[in-house]
């Protein structure tokens, strides 16, 4: 049996990982819907669903789907087009909620991808809600010009929160345990910093090293 699932479709940053696994052997193949498919024009036309379907059939080919082999595919919207095309091609499949081992493997694959994009580990792994929109937005605003291009800019939430007014002031840190969200290094107590403030769903304050410039 081959199972198919996705990860990252709900993350503001990055594309979407599409993965397939043959459960008996653990053979795993994956590919990504590029972030360009989440720009305003392509997102509105839902071209990402077409790309998802193309990836699904590419992965089935890589795993050498056998004529009588069963396919379980995630029942989410990301595979709407793929399921239609599988039906047309008379591929036997069943829409299901995918669990382990594929779920954990594909989530780890997306996490590693997010880390390579530069997202801090504490935003990806060590939190109850990894890649939470408003937490990731803080990371984006810490280096807006470099990180906005990594975002799903076609989202309504991006259109609402993706170009907010930022108040930038010089300040001094009097507490320990602050991390610069641009370079990722700690900020020493007593350091001169740059303080960024903006309002999204609440007031947000970001501290950067004075030499780490942002928007």
Tens-place pLDDT, residues 98-140: 999 999 999 999 999 999 999 998 888 766 566 789 999 999 9
What's the CA gap between 18 and 152, in Å, rounded?
Answer: 17
Among candidate residues 126, 151, 127, 117, the one with its CA nearest the CA of residue 137: 151
pLDDT at 138: 93
Is residue 129 left, alpha or beta, with left meaning phi > 0 and alpha meaning psi from -120 to 50?
A: beta
- Is CATH 3.30.1360 correct for 2-117? no
The sign one gets for the Cα dihedral 142, 145, 148, 149 is: negative
Q: Is 17 exposed, middle or buried (0-12, 13-18, 19+ CB in 10 A)?
A: buried
For residues 47 and 29, the answer to whether their CB atoms sit within 8 Å is no
Q: Using a pLDDT cut of 90, give the percent of the chain over it.
A: 84
Average pLDDT over the chain reads: 93
Q: Is the model's pLDDT at 211 over the cut of 60?
A: yes
- Torsion angles phi and psi, residue 90, rounded to 5: 60, 40
Average pLDDT of the segment spanning 78-100: 95
CA dihedral 141, 145, 148, 150 (to 10 degrees): -120
Instruction: Spell out the domain ranges in the chain.
Output: 2-117, 132-209
Average pLDDT of the segment spanning 160-169: 94
Instruction: Say whether pTM exceeds 0.85.
Output: yes
């Amino acid at each position: 049996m081959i199972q198919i699932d996705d990860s990252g479709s709900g993350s503001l940053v990055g594309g979407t990982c599409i993965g397939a696994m043959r459960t008996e052997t653990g053979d795993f193949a994956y590919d990504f819907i590029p972030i360009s498919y989440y720009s305003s024009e392509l997102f509105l036309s839902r071209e990402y669903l077409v790309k998802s379907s193309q990836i699904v059939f590419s992965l089935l080919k890589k795993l050498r789907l056998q004529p009588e082999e069963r396919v379980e595919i995630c029942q989410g919207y990301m595979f709407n087009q793929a399921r239609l095309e599988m039906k047309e091609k008379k591929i036997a499949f069943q829409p299901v909620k995918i669990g382990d081992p594929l779920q954990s493997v594909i989530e780890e694959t997306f996490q590693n991808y997010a880390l390579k994009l530069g997202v801090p580990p504490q935003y990806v792994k060590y939190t109850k809600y990894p890649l939470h929109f408003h937490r990731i937005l803080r990371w984006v605003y810490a280096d807006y010009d470099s990180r906005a291009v990594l975002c799903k800019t076609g989202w309504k939430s991006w259109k609402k929160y993706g170009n907010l007014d930022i108040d930038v002031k010089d300040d001094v840190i009097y507490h320990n345990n602050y991390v610069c969200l641009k370079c990722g290094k700690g900020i020493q107590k007593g350091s001169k910093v740059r303080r960024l403030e903006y309002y999204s769903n609440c007031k947000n304050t970001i501290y950067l090293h004075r030499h780490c410039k942002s928007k």
